[in-house]
Amino acid sequence: MSDIKGEYGLFIDYEYCSGCNACLTACKMEHNMPESDFGIRIFQDGPCQSSDGSWHYDYLPMPTDLCDLCADRVAAGKLPTCVHHCQNAAMVYGKVEDLAARAKAAQKDKIVIYVR
Amino acid sequence: MSDEMNDREAFEEAAFARSNTLVQITEADDQIGDSVRERGIAYGVDYNNHYNFDKYPFKARYKEGDLDATRTVMWSGPGCHQSCGIIFYTDKDGRLVKTEGDPNNPYTAGRLCMRCLELPQMVNNPRRLTHPVKRVGERGEGKWERISWDEAYDMIIENVHRIQRDYGPESIVSMIGTGRNVSQAIAHNQYANFGGADLTLCFLSGDSCMLPRTALCYVIMGNQWVSDFSQFRSKRYELDPEYEIPEVAVIWGTNPMINNSDAFQGHWIIEAMKRGTKVITIDPQLTWIGARSEKWLRVRPGTDAALALGFMNVIINEDLYDHEFVEKWTYGFEALAERVQEYPPSKVAEITWIPEEEIVAAARMYAAAKPATIHWGLAVDMSKNGVITAHALACLVGITGNIDVPGGNVLIDQAASLEFGYNSGIWELEGTNMVENRLGVKRYPLKQYGFTASSQADSILQAVETEQPHPVKMLWIESANPIANMGQDAPRLYRALKTLDFVVVEDLFITPTAVAFADLVLPCAMSPERDCLRVWFDPLRTLTKACSDYGECKSDETIMIELGHRIHPEAWPEHVVDDRSYMNWRLERDGVVDEDGSPMTMETVEEKYHGMWYHHYNYRKYEKGMLRPDGQVGFMTPTGRYELYCTLFASFGDDPLPYYQEPPTSPVSTPELAEKYPLILTTGKRSYEFFHSEWRQPETISRQIHPDPMFDIHPDTAAEYGIADGEWVWIENQMGKMRQRARLNPSLDPRVVSTEHGWWFPEQEPAEPSLFGVFDCNPNNLIPQCENGSNGYGAPIKCGMCTVYKCTPENSKPEDQPSYQVCTTGYTHGQTHTTDKPSFYDGWTPDYEPEGFFDIDEYWKTHERMAPNPIDLDDPAAHKYRY
């Protein structure tokens, strides 16, 4: 982790985000946040049906302004706690260019990369 | 019925032989969870993360900075049916500071759910009960006096002796909540310390949680199956050379991502999906995994048996079944083939509300896949004919030959042949007829001759109410909260339990059940404060104590042992004084040995096997003579085969083949009732935040992000009833009412509403008539007791009827609240029944007037009203999380 913005980020394959709140909870506990604060939140789309009859039900985690990519944990050689605990292992921490290469190599949709 | 099956000894021998087959030890590398470490990545998935194993030593205890780390597994209380790998971090005072998922654990591979992550908020919760208390006011007043453990034990001993003397030990009944890390203690305590045999899943009508499925499995296959995701070996998925990824997984009546029920981690299915598994989801609403499935069948609640029969109609008539398995290993195929002719897809479509072409396509897809697996859930149990529904599903798996094959449905028993469940300590009752005289057992041949782990819950309630066949005078309730969660017809339970002589509640917090009924409340230790073992399926796991004792809390085992040395010392060896000495005694007593033949100990499992002692799991045991005491191939059944036609059912005059029966109330079975209560009421929708009635404390993240009870309703239905998203709504039927907040969900059939369960409000007033608001939002007000299948199992918990209407200031006055109504009168809303006769449900007609119909307005004309609990409708912010 460096202080320069744009070097590191989170890769999230949200096809596999089940909305379990493990990231949200791990983050709040790790950083000892009060009730009002969140370092990452989860947004929900669906369940809903499109006009073609297909059904959709997705979750998308989003780091907030309070996210520092777990700078202290990373400095100590651990993974950011959201990444460590993701129940479907859908999150990856790394350098932005590595994450972008990973996204390209995955050859699938429903991937986001958050740059911090 | 054959003599063999009738003979209890033969049955027990068979159980012994079965368990012995699993104790065979192979190479040491099968025993420890080193595959995660070797690969350095969780489960070997491509886009997983590389954990830094320098930071996660493969040891039971180590230091990390100022903190002590204890690497173990978590298992209630509080908690669920899992034992996930966890690291407890404690400070110099032994206080739990934080938790992390254990990357070295093959079961969960570093992941952890929100409830274990927020565990410090529960362990160190200011509301936690820290010392024994006895009641000083009336029951329901919530007035307690702190007492010492010695005083508590004396009080128990005095009452137990008095009740044993006056009414016999059979009048003492012990209860747990859902089967968790209390099973061994509740059973052993009941048998050894109280001398009674009766225990049950706390007033859960029809024992409708796993037991209907288990009972069916034992009589038709002599074992039970679960869905195979390689969980019984330390090397997972493709790392296990024998394992095969299921081509198709059918998720039937469960939301596995959230509930992780019955020792099954729902996220394993996702790992299989990443490796190519296709999924069929059968659920009344679209679940998250349903949206990722090839097929989602939106079934009408309570009609699952018809759907399984319809699948089999297609599979048999289109000749898609597994001829080899059917011919070699099953019994009664021709009869089954004839039976399924009564269930053509067109008829099943009418019953289940699933389009015919979807039924046919799903049946073909399942039958064509090899291997295919069915992961079944609670919805199977929670119909009146839970056992028969399970039978239909078991036949479906049988005719497709997916039995005990890698990636199919595999037969499994408890690890290391250690009896650590409801038969723990059963030897104390040898030479008595206590077990065969358990309440409800003689009423039901399936319990008497087939499978029984416990008494029948409804029969216990009836014994409390009627003193027949004998009185029940004392209840020992351990980590269960029946009026909040477990028991149906919660107002009826409230009335019945008030009449008991002596009630002890052992729990983590003062619960509504404790306030309403308890004479004595004992504080339990939580999971990180206990040493324990888990054998609920392979591997055998150790729970290593991480924290120092919290207040004066004691573990379930320690309470049992300390009480035991005082009340019945002959049953307890002198050296058994605490959790660890109890575990090692049980391992020794049950003859559990290590691969070199030396006695197994907790320490050996912790150190040599890193807390996870895997046994070499065998597939296709029926081909290898590993399921029968005589060593013959086949299954442990009267015919030696997998019985599609159940010979035991035939022997006691029940239908030997699966069939479908309408729920006792439904638009079909009670059309007149449906005019008044037109919506199907399904209950128990799970959320990640809670496990049943736990985690409701407002200090938890769970409660903060899920403050109110929510029910799902289709937007069109909501509009029809004038209900907007998020509004509080009364949900009512012929039995009672409750309120929850509306959540619009277009994936439901417009005729179905889906409600949450387990709600109580620790921040509200404990004393009656509030009782933590326990009846206000409780779907059990609307569900009957004693409405069970002909075999005693099953109850219509997920398939009732109701209507809905908006909460308004006029209909939501303090005296309209169900908690107030039940605490002051014993009943909820307006006209409801006072009779406790089970015929109320079955016997309903438009003209039916049960004896003693209850009119709450009349009641209040002649009775003084208690002061209501203050609820300010205009100012919800004044009482956070309160209505």
ipTM of this complex? 0.98
Nearest chain A Cα distance for residue B701, angstroms: 7
Residues B868 and B720 in one domain: yes
pLDDT of residue B824: 86
What are the structure tokens assigned to B319, written together? 């000749």
Residues B644 and B777 in one domain: no
Work out the pLDDT band at A97, boundaries 50, 70, 90. very high
Cα-Cα-Cα-Cα dihedral sign, residues B599, B602, B608, B614:
positive
Nearest chain B Cα distance for residue A11, angstroms: 10
Helix, strand, coil abundance in chain B, percent, nearest 5:
35, 15, 50
Interface of B with A in 692-721 (CB under 8 A): 701, 704-705
Residues B642 and B681 in one domain: no
B54 interface with A at CB cutoff 8 Å = yes
Boundary of a domain, candidates B651, B680, B711:
B651
Work out the pLDDT band at B736, boundaries 50, 70, 90. confident
Cα-Cα-Cα-Cα dihedral sign, residues B706, B711, B714, B720:
negative
B113 interface with A at CB cutoff 8 Å = yes
Q: Examine the pLDDT at B211 and tell me if it is beyond 70.
A: yes
Q: Which residue from B528, B796, B523 is spatially nearest to B684, judged by alpha carbons? A: B796
Report CB contact under 8 Å: A79, B48: no
pLDDT of residue B82: 92
What is the rounded average pLDDT of the residues B32-45?
58
CATH number at residue B288: 3.40.228.10
Residues B645 and B680 in one domain: no
Nearest chain B Cα distance for residue A45, angstroms: 10
Helix, strand, coil abundance in chain A, percent, nearest 5:
30, 30, 40
Residues B640 and B729 in one domain: no
Report CB contact under 8 Å: B47, A21: no
Nearest chain B Cα distance for residue A15, angstroms: 8
Q: Which residue from B304, B429, B294, B313 is spatially nearest to B365, judged by alpha carbons? A: B294
Boundary of a domain, candidates B618, B651, B684:
B651
Q: Examine the pLDDT at B691 and tell me if it is beyond 70.
A: yes
| Domain assignment of residue B70, yes or no | no
Q: Examine the pLDDT at B34 and tell me if it is beyond 70.
A: no
pLDDT tens column, B631-641: 999 999 999 99
CA-CA-CA-CA dihedral for B443, B449, B450, B452, to nearest 10: 60
B112 interface with A at CB cutoff 8 Å = yes
Give me the residue from B49, B267, B274 closest to A79, CB to CB: B49
pLDDT of residue B450: 79
Q: Examine the pLDDT at B846 and tell me if it is beyond 80.
A: no
Interface mutation target, options A11, A23, A29, chain B, most CBs of B under 10 Å: A29
Interface of B with A in 746-785 (CB under 8 A): 746-747
This prediction's pTM: 0.92
Contacts A30 to B, Cβ<8 Å: 98
* Integer Cα distance of B178 and B175 in angstroms: 10
Which residue carries 């050996």 as its tokens? B604
Write the burial class of residue B444 (CB in 10 Å: 0-12 exposed, 13-18 middle, 19+ buried).
buried
Report CB contact under 8 Å: B112, A26: yes
Contacts A56 to B, Cβ<8 Å: 291
Q: Examine the pLDDT at B390 and tell me if it is beyond 90.
A: yes
* Integer Cα distance of B665 and B92 in angstroms: 59
Work out the pLDDT band at B668, boundaries 50, 70, 90. very high
Nearest chain B Cα distance for residue A36, angstroms: 9
pLDDT of residue B414: 86
Interface of A with B in 35-74 (CB under 8 A): 35, 46-49, 55-59
Contact residues for B807 (Cβ-Cβ < 8 A; gap 6+): B727, B728, B729, B730, B739
Q: Examine the pLDDT at B472 and tell me if it is beyond 50.
A: yes
**Chain B residue at shortest CA distance from A91:** B48
**Chain A residue at shortest CA distance from B121:** A29
Contacts A60 to B, Cβ<8 Å: none
**Chain A residue at shortest CA distance from B112:** A85
* Integer Cα distance of B442 and B425 in angstroms: 22
Q: Which residue from B882, B673, B588, B649 is spatially nearest to B764, judged by alpha carbons? A: B882
A13 interface with B at CB cutoff 8 Å = yes
Nearest chain A Cα distance for residue B85, angstroms: 11
Report CB contact under 8 Å: A25, B48: no
More confident residue, B42 or A61: A61
A87 interface with B at CB cutoff 8 Å = yes
A18 interface with B at CB cutoff 8 Å = yes
Ordered alpha helix ranges (H), A1-116:
22-30, 71-75, 81-85, 96-106
Q: Please give the backbone phi and psi of residue B197, each rounded to the nearest 5 degrees, phi first.
A: -115, -10
Contacts A24 to B, Cβ<8 Å: 114, 701, 705
The correct answer on CATH 3.30.70.20 for the domain covering A8-115 is: yes
Q: Which residue from B23, B22, B13 is spatially nearest to B600, judged by alpha carbons? A: B23
pLDDT of residue B36: 64
More confident residue, B2 or B380: B380
Work out the pLDDT band at B865, boundaries 50, 70, 90. low
Residues B756 and B641 in one domain: no
* Integer Cα distance of A24 and A39 in angstroms: 7
Interface mutation target, options A12, A15, A20, chain B, most CBs of B under 10 Å: A20
Residue B300: give the domain boundaries: 224-412+636-651
| Domain assignment of residue B366, yes or no | yes
Q: Examine the pLDDT at B828 and tell me if it is beyond 90.
A: no
pLDDT of residue B841: 42
More confident residue, B677 or B8: B677
Q: Examine the pLDDT at B271 and tell me if it is beyond 50.
A: yes
What are the structure tokens assigned to A57, written together? 């039900």
Contacts A22 to B, Cβ<8 Å: 111-114, 117
| Domain assignment of residue B21, yes or no | no
Determine the 3-state secondary structure of B91 from DSSP.
Answer: coil
What is the rounded average pLDDT of the residues B695-708?
96
Residues B764 and B864 in one domain: yes
Report CB contact under 8 Å: B48, A89: yes
Q: What are the residue boundaries of the structural domains of chain A, listed by start? A: 8-115
**Chain B residue at shortest CA distance from A26:** B117
A113 interface with B at CB cutoff 8 Å = no
Residues B707 and B646 in one domain: no
**Chain B residue at shortest CA distance from A86:** B111
Work out the pLDDT band at A116, boundaries 50, 70, 90. confident
Residues B641 and B751 in one domain: no
* Integer Cα distance of B667 and B182 in angstroms: 40
| Domain assignment of residue B434, yes or no | no
Q: Which residue from B744, B873, B872 is spatially nearest to B804, judged by alpha carbons? A: B744
pLDDT of residue B165: 98
Boundary of a domain, candidates B651, B686, B706:
B651
Residues B738 and B644 in one domain: no
What is the rounded average pLDDT of the residues B846-850?
41
pLDDT of residue B295: 98
Residues B852 and B747 in one domain: yes
Give me the residue from A22, A55, A76 closest to B291, CB to CB: A55
**Tally of domains within chain B:** 2
Element (H, E) at B534: strand B532-534
pLDDT of residue B183: 92
Can you say how many angstroms the Cα of residue A87 is from the centroid of all Cα atoms in its chain? 12
| Domain assignment of residue B196, yes or no | no
Mean pLDDT, rounded, of chain B: 89
- Cβ-Cβ contacts under 8 Å between A and B: the total is 121
Highest mean pLDDT out of B490-499, B532-541, B562-571: B562-571
Work out the pLDDT band at B622, boundaries 50, 70, 90. very high
**Chain A residue at shortest CA distance from B706:** A21
Highest mean pLDDT out of B10-24, B200-214, B391-405, B655-669: B391-405
* Integer Cα distance of B25 and B13 in angstroms: 21
Q: What is the 3 state secondary structure string of B204-258?
A: CHHHCCCHHHHHHHHHHHCCEEEECCCCCCCCCHHHCCCCCCCCEEEEECCCHHH
pLDDT tens column, A25-45: 999 999 999 999 999 999 999
Residues B696 and B778 in one domain: yes
Contact residues for B307 (Cβ-Cβ < 8 A; gap 6+): B282, B297, B299, B348, B352, B354, B359
pLDDT tens column, A1-26: 456 789 999 999 999 999 999 999 99
CA-CA-CA-CA dihedral for B364, B366, B367, B370, to nearest 10: 140
pLDDT tens column, B158-206: 999 999 999 999 999 999 998 889 999 999 999 999 999 999 999 999 9
More confident residue, B807 or B29: B807
Contacts B100 to A, Cβ<8 Å: 81, 84-85
Contacts A90 to B, Cβ<8 Å: 47
